[in-house]
Amino acid sequence: MTKDGKLELMAPAGNFESLQAALDNGADSVYFGVEQLNMRARASINFTMDDLPEISKRCKELGVRTYLTLNTIIYDHDLSVIKTLIDKAKVADITAVIAMDQAVIAYARQVGMEVHISTQINVTNIETVRFYAMFADTIVLSRELSLSQVKKITEQIKKENICGPSGNLVEIEIFGHGALCMAVSGKCYLSLHSHNSSANRGACKQNCRKKYTVIDQESGFEIELDNEYMMSPKDLCTIDFLDEIVDAGIKVLKIEGRGRAPEYVATVIRSYREAIDAIADGSFSKEKTDYWMTLLQTVYNRGFWNGYYLGQKLGEWSPANGSMATQKKVYIGKGKHFYPKTNIGQFTIEAYDLKVGDKILITGPTTGAKEATVSSMMVEDLLSDLAKKGDDITIPIDFRIRPSDKLYKLVKTEFAEA
């Protein structure tokens, strides 16, 4: 929970672009992986140990908490790396370690680092909460619990005064938005069996996201499961009942997406930030949730459902392979220079055309992910409505851009309403 008593909004960061996008859009905390010992070892670029001081610095300047994910299965040969990583996180003043293996939990506690219990442990009852409270101040509950089950646990924590090592009441965290796995809280072995690539070591090959044909082995009769990816759930979305989540006593809301692009992080965090603030000031409404849902649909998603929180027992399956976002980005160029006195950005167009009125996205390790609309444009120092590949352009922009930044055009997809 934040200092002002609001639900803590926890953002994913797969790289510096996404980290900055989270910070710019109101995250209270960020979680990230370093090297390969986390559940997104292959899905995102991941940071290195040398990045820890910079991550800590950027976040501390804004009062944002930092959580290092070390939540994979750990083998003996990993132990020295784990200890080195936790030691470096401690020196960099990273806030906490998210863990599921007892070796990680024990060593983090030994060196005095705050521990959060990962959803991979599958905490589903108050007695398990009581046990892990000996080691952790925050516990992520199993994804399969209903909101009423979660509320019962948070009420018992308060009633029985169950505190973590800090001496404060244990805080409960749940998943709030993003990809859901068909397996129980992420424990899946399909990828290991098919590709010798363990999902529990952060190397999932996402077998469940594919379309399958069922074959009767006696007769050879085949059934194609029409328009339904039978093991690929829609993405979780809780923004339309976020007030019920707050009422259930949950303290931390985690947004999934360390493998997603920075504009995904920016849009999702901005939407949930506005929703949490609206609940706090009493302006939360269906009209606003409808608007936020429209925004959330513009970035990567497999369609949305509310998970198991409202009592549903079976998943809702995605009807498509990949994203159902209503808009996509198309790379068109890179940043060249920024003129701060006039708020003008200079870019080189390397692919496709750009017109006045187009929506653009600019991303970069320091810039994060920022959207704008081209209101006017100079092409080779002449006023123009159109720029083509090879052109050097300048456009008015109300934020600083850098030579390392990438320029994209945002275009509607087939999933956008006509």
Q: Are residues 173 and 270 in the same domain?
A: yes
Question: What CATH number corresponds to the domain at position 372?
Answer: 2.40.30.10
Residues of the domain holding 48: 8-181+233-305
Q: How far is residue 46's CA from residue 52's CA, in Å, rounded to a whole number?
A: 11
Q: Are residues 170 and 49 part of one domain? A: yes
| Domains: count for the chain | 3
- Examine residue 313 and state whether it is found in any structural domain, yes or no: no
Q: Which of 393, 397, 396, 328 is nearest to 354 (CA)?
A: 393
Contact 33, 118 (CB under 8 A): no
Give the CA distances from residue 232 to residues 177, 207, 229, 297, in Å, rounded to whole numbers and listed in that order.
Answer: 16, 9, 5, 18
Query: CATH no. for residue 120?
Result: 3.20.20.70
Residues 273 and 393 in one domain: no
Residue 65 lies inside a defined structural domain of this protein: yes
Q: Residue 407's beta-bridge partner residues?
A: 333, 362
The Cα 257–Cα 14 span in angstroms is 8
Domain match, 82 and 219 both: no
Would you call 322 exposed, middle or buried from its count of C-beta atoms within 10 A (0-12, 13-18, 19+)? exposed
SS3 sequence of the chain:
CCCCCCCEEEEECCCHHHHHHHHHCCCCEEEEEECCCCCCCCCCCCECHHHHHHHHHHHHCCCCEEEEEECCCCCHHHHHHHHHHHHHHHHCCCCEEEECCHHHHHHHHHCCCEEEECHHHCECCHHHHHHHCCCCCEEEECCCCCHHHHHHHHHHHHHHCCECCCCCECEEEEEEEECCCCCHHHCCCHHHHHHCCCHHHCCCCCHHHCCCEEECCCCCCEEECCCCCCCCECEEECHHHHHHHHHCCCCEEEECCCCCCHHHHHHHHHHHHHHHHHHHHCCCCHHHHHHHHHHHCCCCCCCEECCCCCCCCCCCECCCCCCCCCEEEEEEEEEEEEECCCCEEEEEECCCCEECCCEEEEEECCCEEEEEECCCCEECCEECCEECCCCEEEEECCCCCCCCCEEEEEEECCCCCC
Structure-token pair, residue 113: 């680092």
pLDDT, one tens digit for every residue, the chain (418 residues) = 777 889 999 999 999 999 999 999 999 999 999 977 655 545 445 799 999 999 999 999 999 999 999 988 889 998 999 999 999 999 999 999 999 999 999 999 999 999 999 988 999 999 999 999 999 999 999 988 999 999 999 999 999 999 999 999 999 999 999 877 665 555 665 555 555 555 555 555 555 556 666 676 677 666 555 555 556 678 899 999 999 999 999 999 999 998 899 999 999 999 999 999 999 999 999 999 999 999 999 999 988 988 889 887 666 777 677 788 899 999 999 999 999 999 999 999 999 999 999 999 999 999 999 999 999 999 988 999 999 999 999 999 999 999 989 999 999 988 876 4
* In contact, 392 and 324? CB cutoff 8 Å: no
**Rounded-to-integer distance, Cα 271 and Cα 6, Å:** 15
- Picking from 324, 299, 328, the residue whose alpha carbon sits closest to that of residue 415 is 324
* One domain for residues 143 and 29: yes
pLDDT at residue number 311: 81
One domain for residues 216 and 71: no
What pLDDT score was predicted for residue 342?
A: 95
Number of other residues whose CB lies within 10 A of the CB of residue 285 = 11
Residue 417 lies in a domain: no
Are residues 363 and 264 located together in one domain of the fold?
A: no
My answer on whether 170 and 199 are in the same domain is no
Q: Per the domain annotation, does 1 fall within a domain? A: no
Within-domain flag for 3: no
As a whole number of angstroms, the distance between CA 381 and CA 282 comes to 50
pTM of the model: 0.87
Q: Is 354 within a domain?
A: yes
My answer on whether 155 and 271 are in the same domain is yes
Pair 106, 131 in one domain = yes
Amino acid at 86: I
Question: pLDDT at position 418, please?
Answer: 45
Same domain, 142 and 249: yes
Residue that terminates a domain, selected from 223, 251, 283: 223
199, 223, 247 - which closes a domain: 223
Where does a domain end: 250, 272, 305?
A: 305
Do 160 and 142 sit in the same domain of this protein? yes
Q: Is residue 14 situated within a structural domain?
A: yes
**Domain presence at residue 219:** yes
